[in-house]
């Protein structure tokens, strides 16, 4: 038996070539391509404008390795966490975050992560593999369905802030964005998409060279090298001055303002001296700052800063003319908040 080809790994041109080999017209390939990426078909049987014999040929030659939801939990605040099962048995997690003015999908780009950030549950996992573009795309499709089922509201925003480092899965992430934003895909605006990185400077520059249209966020969390080295090992090879240069380059190529993400840890980076360092960093390129509550995990001893400290921290930045926003955590009770995704299958199943 011939090994089946994953049809979603083929470009439209490659798919057209395959159809010509099969003795079919190339326009049939366009029809299938639309079924896959615009209509999110999970089987060839769904492709009802194709003949039965063609659908049978497709079934013999190709496979659609569709992601499925294996578990889901709904938080007291309405946040929904999803465990996705991949075709090879691996799992990743994603989150639907509802708000008054938006519905946001937080999606994963890798099974596990290799960066070992000390405050992040995913950082304590091994990286098993990168996700294919289609596996990233499927997460968006499935979370969009949950948004419509639970809230009768379409998905409005996507953040690549789930499991993994997106810029270490560069080509698949960019291909997934293409399928999500294309007119022959989900047709979402790239301005509604944010890709978050822990700080891979050479790949940030590559984003600039590729003149991406989506938004970029940097998980900063400390604005001096000694503190950032302590919590984010990636900083040892991507020091802050190197990141500044990369972010300036990115802005010069794209004109996209950068978002700085800053988790405020109790008695670690929550003083006004830390805010002053953050201010200095943020002034070096057009940016805004999201100040994020920490969500404790059992693997680490970090605690969230006190509310008054967080508010004073934000106010200091605002008084200096910086756009700073405090992001309150959502989904804490189901381990769906920022930094808590870690494939806790037992926890999911027991809920």
DSSP states of 171-238: HHHHHHHHHHHSTTTT---GGGEEEEES--HHHHHHHHHTT--SEEEEE-S-SSHHHHHHH-GGGGTS
Q: How far is CA 254 from the centre of its chain?
A: 20
Task: Give the per-residue pLDDT at 346.
Answer: 38
123: its two tokens: 């950082």
As to burial, measured by CB atoms within 10 angstroms (0-12 exposed, 13-18 middle, 19+ buried), residue 131 is buried
The dihedral through the CA atoms of 141, 207, 199, 99 has a sign that is negative
Task: Give the per-residue pLDDT at 348.
Answer: 34
Same fold, 5-63 and 68-350: no
Task: Give the per-residue pLDDT at 337.
Answer: 47
The reply to whether 106 belongs to the active site is no
The span from the CA of 22 to the CA of 166, in Å, is 37
Which of these, 234, 287, 260, lies nearest to 119 by C-alpha position? 234
How, if at all, do strands 5-6 and 62-63 pair?
A: parallel
CA distances from 78 to 39, 150, 290 (A): 27, 9, 22
How, if at all, do strands 80-85 and 110-111 pair?
A: unpaired
Task: Give the per-residue pLDDT at 343.
Answer: 55
From 93, 135, 165, 293, the catalytic residue: 93
10-residue mean pLDDT series, the chain (351 residues):
89 96 93 97 96 95 96 91 96 94 96 91 89 98 97 97 96 98 97 97 98 98 97 96 98 97 95 97 97 84 90 96 85 53 44 28
In contact, 222 and 231? CB cutoff 8 Å: yes
Domain ranges of the chain: 5-63, 68-350
Task: Give the per-residue pLDDT at 347.
Answer: 34
Give strand pairing partners of 138. none
The span from the CA of 256 to the CA of 253, in Å, is 8
Phi, psi of 6 (to 5 degrees): -70, 105
The span from the CA of 162 to the CA of 93, in Å, is 7
52: its two tokens: 């039965």
Which of these, 160, 155, 152, lies nearest to 133 by C-alpha position? 160
Length of the chain: 351
The reply to whether 338 belongs to the active site is yes
315 CB-near residues (< 8 Å, 6+ apart): none
Phi, psi of 145 (to 5 degrees): -60, -40
Task: Give the per-residue pLDDT at 3.
Answer: 87
Fold of 5-63: DNA polymerase; domain 1 (1.10.150)
In contact, 212 and 254? CB cutoff 8 Å: yes
Task: Give the per-residue pLDDT at 161.
Answer: 94
If phi > 0 it is left, if psi is from -120 to 50 it is alpha, else beta; for residue 152 that is left
CATH superfamily, region 68-350 = Aldolase class I (3.20.20.70)
> What global pTM score does this model have?
0.92
């Amino acid at each position: 038996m011939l090994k089946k080809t994953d049809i979603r790994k083929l470009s439209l041109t490659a798919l057209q070539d395959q159809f010509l080999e099969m003795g079919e017209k190339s326009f049939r390939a366009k029809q299938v391509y639309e079924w896959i990426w615009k209509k999110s078909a999970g089987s060839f049987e769904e492709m009802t404008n194709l003949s039965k014999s063609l659908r049978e040929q497709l079934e013999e030659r190709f496979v659609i390795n569709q992601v499925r939801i294996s578990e889901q939990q709904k938080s007291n605040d309405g946040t929904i966490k999803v465990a996705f099962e991949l075709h090879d048995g691996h799992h990743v997690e994603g989150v639907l975050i509802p708000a008054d003015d938006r519905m946001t999908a937080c999606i994963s780009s890798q099974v596990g992560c290799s960066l070992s950030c000390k405050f992040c549950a995913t950082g304590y996992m091994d990286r098993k593999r990168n996700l294919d573009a289609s596996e990233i795309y499927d997460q968006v499709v499935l979370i969009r369905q949950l948004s419509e089922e639970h809230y009768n509201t379409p998905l409005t925003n996507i953040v690549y802030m789930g499991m993994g480092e997106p810029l270490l899965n560069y080509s698949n992430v960019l291909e997934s964005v293409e399928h999500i934003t294309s007119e022959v895909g989900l047709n979402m605006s790239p301005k509604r998409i944010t890709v978050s990185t822990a700080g891979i400077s050479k790949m940030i520059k590559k984003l600039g060279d590729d003149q991406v249209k989506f938004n970029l966020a940097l998980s900063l969390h400390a604005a001096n090298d000694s503190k950032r080295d302590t919590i984010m090992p990636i900083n040892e090879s991507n020091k802050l001055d190197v990141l500044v240069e990369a972010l300036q380059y990115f802005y010069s190529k794209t004109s996209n303002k950068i978002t700085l993400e800053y988790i405020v840890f109790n008695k670690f980076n929550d003083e006004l001296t830390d805010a002053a360092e953050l201010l200095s960093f943020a002034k070096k390129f057009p940016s805004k700052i999201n100040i994020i509550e920490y969500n404790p995990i059992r693997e680490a001893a970090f605690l969230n800063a006190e509310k008054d400290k967080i508010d004073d921290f934000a106010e200091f930045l605002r008084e200096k003319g910086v756009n700073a926003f405090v992001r309150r955590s959502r989904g804490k009770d189901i381990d769906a908040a920022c930094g808590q995704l870690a494939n806790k299958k037992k926890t999911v199943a027991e809920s």
